[in-house]
Amino acid sequence: MEPKSTTPPPPPVMGAPIAYPPPPGAAYPAGPYVHAPAAALYPPPPLPPAPPSSQQGAAAAHQQQLFWAEQYREIEATTDFKNHNLPLARIKKIMKADEDVRMIAAEAPVVFSRACEMFILELTHRGWAHAEENKRRTLQKSDIAAAVARTEVFDFLVDIVPRDEAKDADSAAMGAAGIPHPAAGLPAADPMGYYYVQPQ
């Protein structure tokens, strides 16, 4: 006790977790992504074929490719892993708002921090496209609603953005821009015809 106290270890730096010794005989798995084994164990289900895209769809797809290429470039350029653009404590609180959630690994909020950035960027990007179609320079709630209505992966947000607003916005956008409806063949009176609830 006495000798040890002469050299007390300094307190841990905020945000830097204390390391722990690796198990004896454990080998670091090779490969570009650490999560690859998990992905192999649980391959994602095959996605339904994408709907036929028009010229507008092709342009949008190209923009999306540029978007994700930019995401990769930003991730490769990331050097600061201590300061996140979104507070980890807040993310954790939102995760734990679900009473069924018990414990959360330290890396989960870190991944969410980046995922939410990408989510905000994608939603804003798609919303801005709608604002531009209406010759506006102010991003409005109706633009977000239109982006949600047009993007299948954002279906879980229909309760956050009123459907009426989305419907009106989308119809107005279509009328103003003279763009053919994405889901060709569906009745014009039902812009939300392509919507369906994904199985839980």
Partner 1 sequence: MDSSSFLPAAGAENGSAAGGANNGGAAQQHAAPAIREQDRLMPIANVIRIMRRVLPAHAKISDDAKETIQECVSEYISFITGEANERCQREQRKTITAEDVLWAMSRLGFDDYVEPLGAYLHRYREFEGDARGVGLVPGAAPSRGGDHHPHSMSPAAMLKSRGPVSGAAMLPHHHHHHDMQMHAAMYGGTAVPPPAGPPHHGGFLMPHPQGSSHYLPYAYEPTYGGEHAMAAYYGGAAYAPGNGGSGDGSGSGGGGGSASHTPQGSGGLEHPHPFAYK
Binders of partner 1 among residues 135 to 194 (CB under 8 A) are 137-141, 143-145, 148, 152-153, 156-157, 159-161
Best CA proximity match to 192, nearest among 144, 158, 160: 158
Query: CA 142 to CA 126: how far, in whole Å?
Result: 12
Candidate list 4, 55, 187, 189; residue touching partner 1; CB under 8 A = 4
CA gyration radius, the chain: 23
Which residue number, 19 or 189, has a Cβ lying nearer to partner 1? 19
Q: Which of 60, 108, 177, 192 binds partner 1 (CB under 8 A)?
A: 108
Q: Which is nearer to partner 1, 139 or 174 (CB)?
A: 139
Positions in 31-90 near partner 1 (CB under 8 A): 32-36, 38-39, 42, 44-45, 47, 64, 68, 71-72, 75-76, 78, 81, 85-90
Q: How far is the CB of 178 from partner 1 (least distance, A)?
A: 24
Centre a 10 Å sphere on the Cβ of residue 191 and count the other Cβ atoms it contains. 22
d(CA 69, CA 31) in angstroms, rounded, equals 21
Kindly state the DSSP code that residue 157 receives in the 8-state scheme. G
